[in-house]
């Protein structure tokens, strides 16, 4: 008997998006790269202005109908990224990459499934940053890439030991 999770519509949709042009264009242009998929999780690294690759571990259940959620991820150690290794910067960077938010389990972004809960004003204040099922995970990745390549980005909080 096969894997009971095989051929789940959400997994099929995620894999289709990760093999499609929008995602592959981000890979080809050096914006992000796929690290692994162990559904319902996918790990994708987003490349910052200084070349640091920040891993994000996405939880993708009910994809793309339901927004994903992602936490900064240590790709080498396969565990959450230590808060002292999160990106630093000004303005939007410490808001989005806030280790105190939800115990460092997600980014503080309107496109994040967990963060959007209880933030109804975001729907009118930041409609361009909300989850869009037609763009899927690439919408989230594009928002993170823009932040990590903005003038507000200030590098990594600490140097790996």
* The pLDDT of residue 160 is above 60: no
| Percentage with pLDDT > 90 across the chain | 85
106 is catalytic: no
| Residue 3 clears pLDDT 70, i.e. is over it | no
Which one of the listed residues 71, 106, 111, 138 is annotated catalytic?
111
> Do 48 and 153 form a contact (C-beta atoms < 8 A)?
yes
CA angle 145, 25, 148 (to 5 degrees): 10
Instruction: Please determine, for residue 30, whether its predicted confidence score (pLDDT) is greater than 80.
Output: yes
Confidence of residue 159 (pLDDT cuts 50, 70, 90): low
Q: How far apart are CA 72 and CA 55, in angstroms?
A: 6
Contact 66, 74 (CB under 8 A): no
* CA atoms of 45 and 101, how far apart (whole Å): 21
d(CA 81, CA 72): 5
Instruction: With cut-offs at 50, 70 and 90, classify the pLDDT of residue 7.
Output: confident
The string of pLDDT tens digits covering residues 112-135 is: 999 998 888 888 998 899 999 999
Q: How far is CA 58 from CA 3, 45, 61, 95, 99, in A?
A: 21, 11, 9, 19, 16
pLDDT digits (tens, 9 = 90+) for 136-147: 999 999 999 999
At residue 161 the predicted structure's pLDDT band, cuts being 50, 70 and 90, is very low
- The confidence score (pLDDT) of residue 158 equals 55
């Amino acid at each position: 008997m096969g894997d009971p999770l095989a051929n789940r519509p959400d997994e099929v949709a995620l894999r289709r998006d990760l093999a499609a042009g929008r995602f592959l264009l981000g890979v080809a242009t050096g914006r992000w790269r796929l690290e692994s998929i162990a559904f319902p999780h996918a790990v994708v690294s987003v490349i910052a202005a200084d070349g640091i690759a920040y891993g994000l571990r996405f939880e993708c259940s009910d994809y793309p109908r339901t927004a994903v959620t992602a936490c900064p991820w240590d790709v080498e150690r396969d565990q959450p990224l230590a808060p002292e290794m999160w990106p630093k910067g000004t303005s939007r960077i410490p808001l989005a990459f806030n280790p105190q938010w939800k115990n460092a389990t997600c980014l503080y972004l309107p496109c994040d499934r967990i963060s959007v809960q209880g933030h109804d004003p975001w729907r009118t204040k930041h409609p361009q940053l909300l989850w869009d099922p037609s763009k899927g995970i690439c919408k989230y990745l594009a928002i993170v890439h823009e932040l990590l390549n903005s003038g507000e980005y200030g590098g990594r909080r600490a140097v790996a030991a």
